[in-house]
Amino acid sequence: MSPTTVAEHRQRVAELVGLMPVLQLPLDECLGLVLAADVIAPVSLPPFDNSAMDGYAVRAADLAGPIPVTLPVADDIPAGRTQLNALEPGTVQRIMTGAPVPPGADAVIQVELTDGGTETVTINASVAQGTNIRVAGDDVQKGDAVLVAGTVLRPAQLGLASALGLARLPVRRRPRVLILSTGSELVEPGQPLQPGQIYESNGMMLASSVREAGGVAVQLRFVPDDVEAFHRALAPYLGSVDVIVTSGGVSAGAYEVVKDALASHDVRFTKVAMQPGGPQGAGTYEGVPVLTLPGNPVSAQVSFEVFVRPALLASMGHAQVERPTARATVTTSLTSPAGKTQFRRGLYDPSSGQVVTPVGGPGSHLLSALALSNCLIEVPEDVTELAAGAEVTVRHLQ
């Protein structure tokens, strides 16, 4: 059987995960989510003509004669004032930044150009009509499509929605991802280790990756290599999660709990032409999409990067699901298995002529090398050797 290509498995994973439903979510839950429909402005911004300066609302014509001129201050308008008196010719009204401009005024003179008086004010400059008035609709016209579907909601977009008076926005919700690690050798960090045991690390790494991608992670610590325990662990979550991601138990050994538990379900196990991350499974378990990643920590994390992260981003409606990439030259030579895309860990240094230094070897147990790297170096399937100085594609991880 020929191995599955990286592209084929990516496609399968993306199809399984699908699209999350659209919900109207409160703005404070929308950061980083994707707008699912255009936002039509329900009001104009600014909603009314208002002052850009602390000063005096005036008629420009009253300052057109000899300067300085002294005029009576007929009213005082703080920001937030809702009732206004029309400006009578030959008078001014003291006005604050953001306060509504009274009918009859056609300019604001800033306080620095006056003596700051409260009964009468002496004004030392003339102004053109419109000076320091922020006209209603200057920024947004009521009825405008101010934010279009597909926009990623960042602080500025959420600020604009608030300014328009919107409390909720239509977005595709975050996928809820159950992370389940398997292995009888695993021990929870903080507990004592017996000989032959190791601390469990994939769960934390994958759950953090889900959160970094914008999903909600439920980290079910881990189960031993026991099929019944595997089914029992998943049962309480089946109605409430969108995706199950497992790690471990999928290769060729005698105790492959994930393979054994899911063999009778609609899950296809395959070898993908990549290294690390070769053994993969994908399908559904009791109606829930399930992605089974290999247990070696670097394999699990690279699998997440290559298959799961893009699928989660797509499920939320993101158009851009790829990490940014760059071309760089490798500082040392590399070898790579024939017929497999290799993802080596690297340290990319843009400041020194876009070079990348491999960190650690190809072994998929080398977690500290992954932790010291900031990119993956992609070696194409048909390349088995790269000389120092060769050009490669790097996939930035941060």
Chain residues binding ligand LQZAQKY5 by CB under 6 A are 181, 183, 185-186, 198, 200-203, 222, 247-253, 256, 276, 278-279, 294-297, 299, 364
**Contact positions toward ligand MOO, by CB under 6 A?**
275-279, 294, 296, 299, 364
Of 10 and 59, the one with the shorter C-beta distance to ligand LQZAQKY5 is 10
Q: Which one of ligand LQZAQKY5, ligand MOO, none is in contact with 200 (Cβ closer than 5 to 8 A by kind)?
A: ligand LQZAQKY5
Q: Which one of ligand LQZAQKY5, ligand MOO, none is in contact with 30 (Cβ closer than 5 to 8 A by kind)?
A: none
Q: Which one of ligand LQZAQKY5, ligand MOO, none is in contact with 46 (Cβ closer than 5 to 8 A by kind)?
A: none
Q: Which one of ligand MOO, ligand LQZAQKY5, none is in contact with 317 (Cβ closer than 5 to 8 A by kind)?
A: none
Q: DSSP of 37-99, one letter per residue?
A: SPEEPSS-BSSS-EESSSEEEE-GGGGSSSSSEEEEEEEEE-TT----PPPPTT-EEEE-TTP
CA distance 123 to 68: 5
Of 31 and 198, the one with the shorter C-beta distance to ligand LQZAQKY5 is 198
Distances (CA, A) of 276 to 123, 273, 295: 76, 9, 11
Q: Which one of ligand LQZAQKY5, ligand MOO, none is in contact with 49 (Cβ closer than 5 to 8 A by kind)?
A: none
> SS in 3 state form for 263-316?
CCCEEEEEEECEECCCEEEEEEECCEEEEEECCCHHHHHHHHHHHHHHHHHHHC
Minimum gap (Å) between residue 179 Cβ and ligand LQZAQKY5: 9
Minimum gap (Å) between residue 12 Cβ and ligand LQZAQKY5: 18
Of 117 and 337, the one with the shorter C-beta distance to ligand LQZAQKY5 is 337
Beta bridge partners of 92: 73
Pseudo-torsion of CA 221, 270, 176, 286, nearest 10°? -90
Of 109 and 306, the one with the shorter C-beta distance to ligand MOO is 306
Hey, what are 160's tokens? 């604009």
Q: Are 387 and 359 within 8 A, CB to CB?
A: no
Of 55 and 277, the one with the shorter C-beta distance to ligand MOO is 277
Close Cβ partners of 279 (under 8 Å, ≥ 6 residues apart): 250, 251, 269, 270, 271, 272, 294
Of 248 and 278, the one with the shorter C-beta distance to ligand MOO is 278
Of 131 and 299, the one with the shorter C-beta distance to ligand MOO is 299
Q: Which one of ligand MOO, ligand LQZAQKY5, none is in contact with 197 (Cβ closer than 5 to 8 A by kind)?
A: none
Of 298 and 330, the one with the shorter C-beta distance to ligand LQZAQKY5 is 298
Torsion sign over Cα 341, 342, 345, 350: negative
Minimum gap (Å) between residue 189 Cβ and ligand MOO: 23
Minimum gap (Å) between residue 211 Cβ and ligand LQZAQKY5: 17
Minimum gap (Å) between residue 336 Cβ and ligand MOO: 12
Q: Which one of ligand MOO, ligand LQZAQKY5, none is in contact with 315 (Cβ closer than 5 to 8 A by kind)?
A: none
Q: Are 301 and 209 within 8 A, CB to CB?
A: yes
CA distance 386 to 232: 48
SS3 257: helix
The backbone region for 2, taken as left when phi is positive above 0, alpha when psi lies in -120 to 50, beta otherwise, is beta
Distances (CA, A) of 97 to 54, 108, 300: 5, 10, 56
Q: Which one of ligand MOO, ligand LQZAQKY5, none is in contact with 295 (Cβ closer than 5 to 8 A by kind)?
A: ligand LQZAQKY5
